[in-house]
Amino acid sequence: TCKVNFPDPNKLHYFQLTVIPDEGYYQGGKFQFETEVPDAYNMVPPKVKCLTRIWHPNITETGDICL
């Protein structure tokens, strides 16, 4: 289950995503992410940060996404 929140409806390039897994290892958890899509998108990737402290091999201790 996912929920998207736009804190400022005039800035559609910035939003927050809440993920609540229905199954799997993280079932029952609630994980919040912050996403910012730059003006140069398509040449520059979106910036995504995990706001929830979590252990995952692709997420650093400060919430940066490493892919």
Residue 50 annotated to the active site: no
Q: Which of 4, 40, 43, 66 is catalytic?
A: 66
45 token code pair:
């990737």
Query: What distances in angstroms separate CA 12 from CA 15, 50, 66, one per listed residue?
Result: 7, 19, 24
So which residues are the catalytic ones?
A: 66
